[in-house]
Structure 1
Amino acid sequence: MQRDALLAAGIDPAHLYEDYASGKREDRPGLAACLKALREEGTLVIWKLDRLGRDLHHLINTVHDLTSRGIGLRVLTGHGAAIDTTPTAAGKLVFGIFAALAEFERELIAERTIAGLVSARARGRKGGRPFKMTAAKLRLAMGQPETKVANLCEELGITRQTLYRHVSPKGDLPSDGTRLPQRQ
């Protein structure tokens, strides 16, 4: 959809840059290549403002950098569709307003995510990645003291660090090892 809108706006397909990372991230190789390729009196055309970034600080810095290099910004759709920083001061004002809205939207998403996690925990659901070490694996690890650590880790599908977090080299149970059966 974004690609189609940019092509319909007259952008040459050779000048399209793509990233598959979140707009929140600043270290996107496609964005970096795009910004590097822009020349004075050119215009950066984006589909929506949140595709450039959702953090107000990053958006402001990016547009300031573009403006200082003599490059304009044009937003095709969404909240910032009226933004065109090239010709007028009013366009720059509108950009500031919509950049703040983009950051506000990002904060709302974060708040809703946290609220959802709290709600799930209240219902007894625990999120996160499942533990690699289980009570059964812990019993296997403690059963054969003569077993080589590398072979044991490979058999259990865990790293040496995970093993030693739950069973000390002497065969004792560190704090993570003693809590493990309670987590299951």
Structure 2
Amino acid sequence: MKIGYARISTADQKADLQQDALKAAGCEKIFTDIMSGAKATRPQLERLKEQLRAGDTVVVWRLDRLGRSLGDLISIVSFFKEKNVQLCSLQENIDTSSAGGVLIFQVFGAIAEFERNLIRERTNAGLSAARARGKVGGRPAKLTESKKDIARKLYAEKVPIAQICETLNIGKSTLYRYLESHPPK
């Protein structure tokens, strides 16, 4: 039996393209996850694995939908091999039922991992360059300098924590984190 697996990273994306291609390839069942491929456990992939029988073929639109690293892909394909299940990737035209398909799978997996590493390196270089220019990423701090002064004064006056937080419109954990890093004198 041909069983399809599709994955999209966010709910904003659509899986239609992948699902249509899997149906056209003759898949009788299709499992779809909506989550990052970097997640170790993907519920629909786990369901698919549980239903596999010897002789089945798992069909994916592209290899990167199945795994995000060469190690991850090899682990999944090894699992399939133990179950006597084949893997077919439509876009890369890979079929692990042949020795050539296994070789091509490993080469494409290595290239995909190389590409992701390049993207990661470029992203980190861009972040470093931005930091060198004085740019700071992340969300803005909840406690401005004026709020910090008010928090210190109120805390010193023994005002209840809940009231300080309400006055400054911050959470208790924010206040406690600040007080830990700047203990009252």
Q: Is 2:100 aligned against 1:84?
A: no
Taking only aligned residues, the RMSD between alpha carbons, in angstroms, comes to 2.1
Report the counterpart of residue 176 of structure 1 in structure 2: none
Q: When you count strand as a share of all residues, which structure comes out higher?
A: 2
Return the structure number with greater helix share.
1
The offset of 1:157, in angstroms, is: 3.5
- What is the aligned partner in structure 1 of residue 38 from structure 2? 24
User: Distance in 1 between the 2:167 and 2:53 partners?
Assistant: 57
Q: 2:24 matched to which residue of 1? A: 8
Report how far residue 152 of structure 1 moved: 1.8
Structure 1 stretches of at least 4 aligned residues deviating more than 4 Å after TM superposition: none
Q: 1:160 to 1:39 in 2, by over 3 A?
A: same
Q: Is the 8 A contact 1:26 1:53 kept in 2?
A: no
Q: How many residues align?
A: 166
The within-5 A match list for 1:140-179 is 140-144=150-154, 145-167=157-179, 172=184
1:23 alignment partner AA: G
- The 1:157–1:27 alpha-carbon spacing in structure 2 relative to 1, beyond 3 Å, is farther
Q: What residue number does 1:106 align with?
A: 116
TM-aligned CA deviation for residue 171 of structure 1:
6.8
Check conservation: 2:52, 2:83, Cα contact below 8 A: no
Percent of counterpart pairs with the same letter? 45
Deviates more, 1:128-137 or 1:97-106: 128-137
Is 1:126 the counterpart of 2:136? The answer is: yes
- Post-superposition CA distance 1:115-152 (Å, at most 9, x none): 12122223321112222222122122123324210222
Bigger relative contact order, structure 1 or 2 (CA pairs below 8 A, ≥6 apart): 2
Structure 2 residue runs of 5 or longer lacking an equivalent are 1-16
Tell me the residue number matched to 2:88: 74
Structure 1's unaligned 5+ residue stretches are 174-184
TM-score if structure 1 supplies the norm length?
0.80
In the superposition, the TM-score normalised over structure 2's length comes to: 0.80
